[in-house]
Structure 1
Amino acid sequence: MMRSRRQLLAAAAAATVTACALMLGTADAAGQAADRIAVFDSASAARIAASQQGKPFVLVVWSLDCVYCKRNFDALGKLRARHPDLRVVTLATDRAEASPQVQQVLDRVRLSRNAWVFGHEPQERLRYAVDPDWMGEMPRTYFYRADGQRQGVSGVISEGDWAKHLRWAGIAG
């Protein structure tokens, strides 16, 4: 059966409306997911650096069972109060199944944006993707300069050392 030109145009218009509705729904879901935790795989380290668009930032690697990581979050909260434009990305080394608990901690310390959690690849591969020289000690904090250079620091960072590293990265004067 041959369709008329009018029927074809009506079908095309209906398909366009449906496609637009689907795209709007997807865009809305993407907007709602902005504060959700992303799953980190071995290619994510490059995506994280690229997502900061050549601006200095801090990458905080932590875990739910790391007592010392909580101290770093406390210091980071104070820093963000003084430097509200401080760009922070968090990476929990916990498995993706722990995302609800990770989200609770990040919400409590107001670091729920730009949050990641380890995916299902082997832990060693994911650690290597972050930094081939990192052996897994935590907390681990990376200070990135706008030009992509970075410094990694293991352990709890003192207030004076935060200031020193932030100056090196060009984040605070």
Structure 2
Amino acid sequence: MRSRRQLLAAAATACALLLGTANAADPANRVAVFDSANAARIAASQQGKPFVLVVWSLDCVYCKRNFDALGKLRAKHPELRVVTLSTDSVESLPQVRQVLDRVRLARNAWVFGHEPQERLRYAVDPDWMGEMPRTYFYRADGQRQGVSGVIGDADWARHLRWAGIAG
């Protein structure tokens, strides 16, 4: 017999998952649950094109600065492909979705699943210790560079050139 706490946790998870699949008609426009077994899906989902992976959290003040910079960059470079990965739990999905909608980055979005945070971080990058924001610049050939912290305008341009995204 399940305890009341287990039932409430299961109900919360089910609601979060249902909210995450509310836009199931457009799978690219929903927040998918990230687990270590599907880490390779992020790069594969971009079909060999250069892109930026932004790892963030609801409680990360500096992450908001990167989102602001990305908004400006996307205005200049509409072809800029961005994937987001929130390190918040699935239970935070409504708040995650709200932030992503506000910054217009709801497409190709992921949120950490129920595995331990350390395992999920390791799946993203074995060398990443959890500092945020964390931004990865992927080239079309799959090479990537990871950058921790807020990225300045000149650094955005340099990293995007390295990835082959902007001239």
Structure-2 residue corresponding to 1:58: 52
Letter of the structure 1 residue corresponding to residue 121 of structure 2: R
What aligned pairs does 1:75-154 form with structure 2 within 5 A after superposition? Answer: 75-154=69-148
The Cα of 1:34 is off from its aligned counterpart by 3.6
Rg (Cα) greater in structure? 1
Matched, 1:45 2:39: yes
Aligned amino acid, residue 57 of structure 2: S
**Equivalents in 2 of 1:168, 1:33: separation in Å?**
30
| Unaligned runs of at least 5 residues, structure 2 | 1-22
- 2:101 is matched by which residue type in structure 1? D
- TM-score normalised by length of structure 1: 0.82
Residues 54 and 33 of structure 1: CA distance in aligned 2, closer, same or farther (over 3 Å): closer
State the match for 2:62 in structure 1: 68
Q: Distance in 2 between matches of 1:139 and 1:106?
A: 15
d(CA) in 2 for partners of 1:32, 1:143: 25
Q: Which runs of 5+ in 1 are unaligned?
A: 1-28
Structure 1 residue identity aligned to 2:46: Q
Q: CA deviation at 1:33?
A: 4.4
C-alpha contact (below 8 Å) 2:97/2:106 kept by paired residues:
yes
Percent of residue pairs identical: 86
CA distance, structure 1, for counterparts of residue 123 and residue 90 of structure 2:
17
Tell me the distance in 1 between the aligned counterparts of 2:137 and 2:27.
Answer: 26
Equivalent position of 1:170 in the other structure: 164
